[in-house]
Amino acid sequence: MAGRQLIALLRRDLLLETRRLQTVLSMVIFAVVAMVVVRYGWSADLQGPSGASFPSGDTAPVGEAGPTVGAVPAAMLWVIFVFAAMLGLSRTFAHEREDDCLDGLLLCPVDRVLVFCAKAITNLALLLVMQVVAIPVFGLFFLEGSAVRLLVCTPVVLLADIGLASVGTLVATMVLHARSRDLVLPVVLLPLLVPVVIAATSATAAIVDRGAPLADVLGRLGFLAAYDAVFLVLAWGTYGLLMRD
Amino acid sequence: MTPTVARLAPAGRPASLLRGLVSAPFLYVAAALLLSAGVLLAFLVAPLDASGLGFTQKIFYFHAAIAETALIAFAVALVAAVLRLVRSAGPPAGLEVAAVRLGLFFSGLVMVTGMIWGRAAWGVWWAWEPRLTTFLMALLVYAAYFVVRGSIDDVQRRETVGSVYAIIAFVTVPVTFFATRYLPEGLHPVVMTASEARMETSMALTFAVCTLGMVALLAALLRSEVALAAGAGALDEVKDLLEER
Amino acid sequence: MTGRSAAVTQAGAWIAVEGLSRRFGRREVLREVALELPQGAFLLLLGANGAGKTTLLRILAALLPPSSGRAEVAGHDIRTEPVAVRRAVGYVGHTPLLYRDLTAAENLRFYADMYGLPDPSARTAEMLDRVELRRRSHDAAGELSRGMRQRLAIARALLHDPSVLLLDEPYGGLDDRAAAVLDRILEEQAGRTTVVLVTHEPARPMRWATAVREVRDGRLHPRDVHVLDAGRR
């Protein structure tokens, strides 16, 4: 019964999304445009009077105390991912709201946690589709020679995405009935996502830079997994209450 | 129609959770005495810190006491939120809001005292190290609590969503608490660990008195805020009743 | 738990409401409402706009928690067993509760799956026949006329063969064809299903009514059926 309901919910979200492709296209276009802007601004800056060329992953000059080569692009990558994710998360209940059929969903004899699971999985899928396009673009723009190493980042991306999708779905439900919710969602969501961004950034940077010890990367992954677990448990415990009123 | 007196009586009575504690005036007096004693102990009795921090270490007694108090306030909000969600007749509505507001107030003081200490000890007002960053993050997460509540019109829904958010926001507290201990690149000193208290007895006593004083201040302010909220609620009801006559 | 349920429904009431209140902020929309309906009853709920009719219906559908008081629908407490209540209730609200980008058939199929019905495809086809929408089953719900959407909404509400039917102004804005379909369906359901129908034009559904109440100032008032007979055909 529960499995069938979950599949029905997912199938409906998939049908609605593929019928227009609005959300996922917006996310992809946003991510790529943001990278183009950053990359262009950066190269203009680096090819200034000093004539320095853009640092590629392996040969860039590193300042003594400054961030490592991977750190700045990695931070930019995750900031862009978070904002692109925001576009999808703000549309978590868009169909229910726009077609005025949230009541229809609430009338169904379904455990609210299943609704959370379905919405979180849909959000996760949207993120992954966006990243399948955006990560190669990132490699092409910022890493050139060492782009293949991004494949190693897959576990980082997966764990961070689960965090983004679950916390995002939870907060999207909180602001479901809020006034000016498009304003409230990012304000509430971004501080909660800071740990994910920090951990994912440093893990990605460590992988791209190659120099970092494996233990560091594993530590970040462990942190991401713990973060995901904590918020999944919290969502499981509170979701019924959020949907009750 | 419920009789006026019966409807007003519960709102006007002191909060049930806090009723067992001592009265608000007593708490204010206790806080004043303890904090005065703390100042005297810190500057006259406790020895100069030998580890190189010297005289600037005096601010620790207040800085750390305020920090612990802020975290206690957030913990009070957590407990109030859980009780309200689990059973409908939990602590008074004002307690959770008051605890978050006071937690934010004490967090602000932590920021100020911490920056003063940082300027004196490290020569900088701010450093992007784990303790400071996680504390700032906790501050932002809790500030968003009021954004969430403010955006929801329906009172019952606002209370539920607010309580769920107070629970979720508390995730940032243990992260902040353990940031000094387990994250490697911290500048922040660890004064007390479970294994060894690195303080002389007089230092520990001073710290304990200051912490008790701050907690007494928190309790007194909480009582006042809850009484104020109850009074405002009762006033609204009286206004409604007058309207109906 | 069972003992308490039995106590409230001892008279065989299929819908039992006791001391039910609901506040929105400081505004009290329902005050101490009490209601008992036996199985198969047909209640007409009248009242001015904003009197609290919709709020009462939403509480009975377990869409909205009451501020205080108790309510049981089909023998299940709306607070402690909302899932069982939802399984028993069919609800037609102000909006058709359909996804505009999904076809008529896809909409019904989704709800059939959510209610865990055996053979959802057959049930979907059967309901589309009953509301005379078979030929439009592959059109997106957003492209259907308002009357057709309302018919589809009725099909959605009856999909899981509910024992309680809650209807909020079901005749509002219906074209003749849709009203005729609704008449036929109510004729079939009357006496079999417990119906609560909210309306401020009681003439049409009057013929099935076994009880009439008016919501005024958040309270239920009995309304003499004979007064309404004037408007009856």
User: At a CB cut-off of 8 Å and minimum separation 6, what does B244 contact?
Assistant: none
Q: What is the pLDDT of residues C90-118, one digit of tens each?
A: 999 888 899 999 999 999 999 999 999 99
A contacts of B153 (beta carbons < 8 Å): 177, 179
Cβ–Cβ < 8 Å for A237, A172: no
Q: Look at residue A209 and tell me whether its pLDDT is greater than 70.
A: yes
Give the pLDDT confidence score for residue B132 in this predicted structure: 82
Give the pLDDT confidence score for residue B1 in this predicted structure: 37
Yes or no, beta carbons of C25 and B153 under 8 Å apart: yes
All domains of chain B in start order, with CATH: 25-226 (1.20.120)
Q: Look at residue C225 and tell me whether its pLDDT is greater than 80.
A: no
Tokens of B137: 């993050």
B158 Cα to chain A: minimum distance (Å): 9
Query: Which residue in the set A15, A20, A103 is minimally distant from C106, CB to CB?
Result: A15
Tokens of C34: 């009490």
Give the pLDDT confidence score for residue B50 in this predicted structure: 64
Q: For residue A211, name the pLDDT band (cuts at 50, 70, 90).
A: low
- Residue B100 to residue A171: CA distance in whole angstroms: 18
Q: Which amino acid is at A65?
A: A
List of chains touching C (3+ CB pairs within 8 A): A, B
User: At a CB cut-off of 8 Å and minimum separation 6, what does B139 contact?
Assistant: B104, B107, B108, B111
C93 at A interface, C-beta within 8 A: yes
- Give, as one character, the DSSP assignment of residue B170: T
Domain count, chain C: 1
Range of the domain at C218: 3-232
Q: Sign of the C-alpha dihedral, residues B24, B30, B34, B36? A: positive
B contacts of A241 (beta carbons < 8 Å): 85, 160, 164
Burial class (CB in 10 A: 0-12, 13-18, 19+), C30: buried
Yes or no, beta carbons of A16 and C95 under 8 Å apart: no
C contacts of B156 (beta carbons < 8 Å): 23-24, 65, 67
Average of per-residue pLDDT values in chain C: 86
Percent of chain A surpassing pLDDT 90 = 51
Q: Which residue of B has its CA nearest to A229?
A: B171
Scan residues 150-179 of B and list those with Cβ closer than 8 Å to C: 153-156
- Average pLDDT, integer, range A25-44: 89
Yes or no, beta carbons of A5 and C116 under 8 Å apart: yes
- Residue B174 to residue B23: CA distance in whole angstroms: 31
Would you state the torsion angle of the CA atoms of residues B160, B161, B164, B167, taken in this order, to the nearest 10 degrees?
-110
- Average pLDDT, integer, range A102-127: 93
A105 Cα to chain C: minimum distance (Å): 8
Burial class (CB in 10 A: 0-12, 13-18, 19+), A131: buried
Give the pLDDT confidence score for residue A245 in this predicted structure: 63
User: At a CB cut-off of 8 Å and minimum separation 6, what does B53 contact?
Assistant: B60, B121, B189
Q: What is the pLDDT of residues C119-130, one digit of tens each?
A: 999 999 999 999
- Residue C148 to residue C135: CA distance in whole angstroms: 12
Cβ–Cβ < 8 Å for C73, C88: yes
Give the pLDDT confidence score for residue C222 in this predicted structure: 84
Q: Which amino acid is at B33?
A: L
DSSP B62-126: HHHHHHHHHHHHHHHHHHHHHHHHHSSS-S-HHHHHHHHHHHHHHHHHHHHHHHHHHHHHTS-S-
> How far from chain centre, in Å, is Cα C119?
24
Query: Which residue in the set B133, B141, B148 is minimally distant from A184, CB to CB?
Result: B148
- Residue C177 to residue B232: CA distance in whole angstroms: 55
CB atoms within 10 A of CB A2: 12
A8 at C interface, C-beta within 8 A: yes
Residue appearing with tokens 């399948």 = A132
Q: What angle do CA C90, C95, C100 make, to 5 degrees?
A: 105
Cβ–Cβ < 8 Å for A108, C111: yes
- Residue A157 to residue A163: CA distance in whole angstroms: 10
- Average pLDDT, integer, range C133-162: 92
User: Among candidates A136, A199, A130, which has minimal Cα distance to A163?
Assistant: A199
CB atoms within 10 A of CB C220: 23
Cβ–Cβ < 8 Å for B99, B222: yes
Crossing angle, helix A71-89 and helix A112-138, to 10 degrees?
A: 140
- Average pLDDT, integer, range A108-118: 92
Percent of chain C surpassing pLDDT 90 = 54
Q: Going residue by residue through chain B, which has 245 residues, state the pLDDT in tens, using 9 for 90 and above.
A: 333 333 444 444 545 544 545 577 888 888 999 999 998 888 888 777 666 667 778 888 899 999 999 999 999 999 999 998 887 667 877 899 999 999 999 999 999 998 998 888 888 888 887 778 888 888 999 999 999 999 998 888 898 999 999 999 999 888 777 765 555 555 566 655 544 455 678 888 888 999 999 999 999 999 899 888 888 888 888 887 887 76
User: At a CB cut-off of 8 Å and minimum separation 6, what does B149 contact?
Assistant: B97, B158, B161, B162, B165
Length reported for chain B: 245
Give the pLDDT confidence score for residue C231 in this predicted structure: 43
User: Among candidates C58, C79, C71, which has minimal Cα distance to C14?
Assistant: C71
- Residue A189 to residue A169: CA distance in whole angstroms: 10
Query: Which residue in the set B140, B153, B175 is minimally distant from A179, CB to CB?
Result: B153
Yes or no, beta carbons of C24 and B240 under 8 Å apart: no
Scan residues 147-166 of B and list those with Cβ closer than 8 Å to A: 147-148, 151-154, 156-157, 160-161, 164-165
Work out the widest C-alpha separation in chain A, in whole angstroms.
Answer: 67
Helices (H), chain A: 2-20, 22-46, 71-89, 94-98, 102-107, 112-138, 154-174, 181-209, 214-244
Query: Which residue in the set C63, C106, C111 is minimally distant from A106, CB to CB?
Result: C63
Q: For residue C56, name the pLDDT band (cuts at 50, 70, 90).
A: very high
SS3 content of chain C, % helix, strand, coil (to 5): 35, 30, 35
pLDDT-wise least confident of A146-150, A213-217, C142-146: A146-150
- Average pLDDT, integer, range A83-103: 89
B154 Cα to chain C: minimum distance (Å): 6
Cβ–Cβ < 8 Å for C52, C205: no
Burial class (CB in 10 A: 0-12, 13-18, 19+), B19: exposed
- Residue A180 to residue B152: CA distance in whole angstroms: 9
Q: Which amino acid is at C177?
A: R
The residues on A that touch B, with CB distances below 8 Å, are 170, 174-175, 177-181, 184, 187-188, 191-192, 194-195, 198, 230-231, 234, 238, 241-242, 244-245
Length reported for chain A: 245
DSSP C128-187: HHHTT-GGGTTSBGGGS-HHHHHHHHHHHHHTT--SEEEEESTTTT--HHHHHHHHHHHH
Task: Provide φ and ψ at A236, rounded to 5°.
Answer: -60, -40
Give the pLDDT confidence score for residue B33 in this predicted structure: 93
Its ipTM equals 0.84
Give the pLDDT confidence score for residue B97 in this predicted structure: 94
Q: Which residue of A has its CA nearest to B167?
A: A234
User: Among candidates C164, C169, C166, C45, which has minimal Cα distance to C95?
Assistant: C169
Q: What is the pLDDT of residues A137-175, one digit of tens each?
A: 998 888 776 677 788 889 999 999 999 999 999 999 999
Three-class secondary structure of residue A237 per DSSP? helix
Q: What is the pLDDT of residues A41-71, one digit of tens each?
A: 877 655 544 433 444 444 444 333 344 456 7
C contacts of A9 (beta carbons < 8 Å): 114
- Residue A132 to residue A137: CA distance in whole angstroms: 9
Give the pLDDT confidence score for residue B162 in this predicted structure: 93
Q: Which residue of B has its CA nearest to A241?
A: B160
- C-alpha distance from residue A198 to each of A226, B51, B134 (Å): 14, 32, 11
Length reported for chain C: 233
C227 Cα to chain A: minimum distance (Å): 35
CATH number at residue C21: 3.40.50.300
